[in-house]
Amino acid sequence: MITVFIDTSVLFSACLSKAGASALILGYCRKNKIKGFISRYVLSEIKRNATQKFDQLGKQRLNFYILQSNLNIVDNPTHSPILAAAIKSKVNYLITFNTKDFLLPKVKGFAKSLTILTPRDFVMLIKYFKI
């Protein structure tokens, strides 16, 4: 089964648009087509952002995604929490809108086991391989 680590930016995007690639990825997790992981750091970051930036509908979507998407929660590593949690989870993919920072040569060398993609690119990959 394909495994993915879902960054805060992906959860945030899914709460803003239920028709986008981010929401589709969480739907794949809910239907057990892929196995999703998040960290406690991601949870605290999205909850902090939700109180500041989401209306009631966005907060309801966030609760739905967290409760219904069958996401596995991993503990917080201390340095570079998103990347470290993704590596610790032993996932195939890190899904994020923040690819610029994660694709730096120094980071890429550290994260050789991960493929880092945007939600759109991941959905295109899934559709191409008909998973």
Residue 10's closest CA among 126, 111, 120?
Answer: 120
Mean pLDDT, rounded, for 30-58: 93
- Residue 77's pLDDT is 61
Confidence of residue 83 (pLDDT cuts 50, 70, 90): confident
**CB-based contacts of 9, cutoff 8 Å, min separation 6:** 96, 97, 98
> Closest Cα partner for 87 from 104, 79, 120?
79
Q: Does this model's pTM top 0.95?
A: no
Which CATH number is 13's domain given?
3.40.50.1010
Domain encompassing residue 67: 3-129
What is the rounded average pLDDT for all residues in the chain? 90
Q: What is the pLDDT of residue 110?
A: 72
Q: How far apart are the first and last CA of the chain?
A: 9
Question: What is the percentage of the chain residues whose pLDDT exceeds 90?
Answer: 70
The structure tokens listed for 131 are 């998973």
All residues at 6 or more sequence positions from 109 whose CB lies less than 8 Å from its CB, including other chains: none
What gap in Å lies between CA 83 and CA 102, rounded to an integer? 8
Asked if pLDDT for residue 79 goes beyond 60, the answer is no
- Tokens representing 23? 């929401």
Kindly report the CA angle at 71 between 100 and 45, in degrees rounded to 5? 50
pLDDT of 103 over the 80 cut: no
User: Stretch 99-110: mean pLDDT, rounded?
Assistant: 76
Sign of CA dihedral 17, 37, 76, 78: negative
**pLDDT bucket at 78, cuts 50 / 70 / 90:** low
Q: Which of 21-25, 26-30, 31-35, 73-77 has the lowest mean pLDDT?
A: 73-77
Number of domains in the chain: 1
